[in-house]
Structure 1
Amino acid sequence: MLPPSLITEPRIRCRVEVTSKKRLLESLAELLATAGPDCSPAAVFDLLNERERLGSTGLGEGIALPHARIEGIDQAVGAFVQLSQGVSFDAPDDRPVDLAFGLLVPQEATDAHLSLLAGLAERFSHPPLRAALRAADNASTLLKLLQSPS
């Protein structure tokens, strides 16, 4: 189960139409920029993109977990985007990504960051959850699915 404060309905988008990995990261950056007063969509995008240059955060099975550490926030913040069509994301299985959970954590939160990433990766490894996330048609349903116990 995700920490309740990690993701809220305003940071969830359903049936988003983007045409590239860059546009997907921009969509997540806009949602994640609400994390703190000093966060801007451009700054968050740069951090997510910088992390992607180190290696794709695509997990396979159509899932991506773009993430970054950032100054100026005191707790982790998540955002979720369900795409209407998948985009190429350099995932290990070469499948297009259509579900993306973006994560920002405080700069110093290394252990918490890794623990959250591991928990998210484990959650998204369940085919029934992935299918339900793909079938959802509104942000409220997506939030309930994301916050439900595994």
Structure 2
Amino acid sequence: MPANFLLDPKAILTAADGSIATKSDILGLLSTCFAEVYEFDPAAVLAGLEEREKLGSTGFGRGIAMPHARYAGLKRPVAALIRLPEPIDFAAADAMKVELVFALLSPTDAGATHLHALAAMSRMLRDDALLERLLAAETSDTLRGVMTDAGERDAA
């Protein structure tokens, strides 16, 4: 995994059921994931993600969204990765529906650190071969394996 942020393997998952149908559903799932894995307040996470989305969609393009926010009390950025079962409209600039959501929470006072973590995520997702493998992953275990392989390749 990249050194710019922590991505706990438990925060890498596939949303296998049909309960995720909207952008709001995605943000809710992310807040639950961050709460369960990193022990954050889900309401505070959701509020931060929703506030950032009000500034403009974090739909990155190419079927990817990168929701992000600041969160008080963090020492370093943390991430979550979700592969959606069906593409969902996220109001991305390229108008493509989102299938992959890579979210980031950063310390409230970490301006440059936050930008470096977002840049690291962006670089990873611009790798066509990696993106293809992530989009093909049908289970959380497969998705975790792809990310572990990517992290090992980056470390070499």
TM-score, structure 1 normalization: 0.90
Match of 2:21 in 1: 19
Structure-1 separation of matches of 2:34 and 2:22: 18
Asked whether the 8 Å contact 1:9–1:140 carries over to 2, the reply is no
Distance, in Å, in 2 between the alignment partners of 1:4 and 1:46 is 24
The Cα shift of 1:43 comes to 1.2
Counterpart contact for 1:35–1:73, Cα < 8 Å: no
Runs of 5+ unmatched residues, structure 2: none
Distance 1:126 1:5 in 2: 18
Structure 1 unmatched runs, 5+: none
Match of 1:131, as an amino acid? E
Structure with a larger share of its residues in helix? 2
The reply on whether 1:82 has 2:86 as its aligned counterpart is no
Displacement of 1:4: 8.8
Following superposition, the deviation at residue 6 of structure 1 comes to 1.0
Paired with 1:15 and 1:26, the residues of 2 have a C-alpha distance of: 12
**Alignment correspondent of 1:32:** 34
Percent sequence identity over aligned pairs: 35
TM-score by length of 2: 0.87
Gap change, CA 1:90 and 1:5, over 3 Å in 2: closer
Q: How many residues align?
A: 148
Give the letter for the 2:31 counterpart.
A
1:132 is aligned to: 133
| Deviation of the 1:143 alpha carbon | 2.3
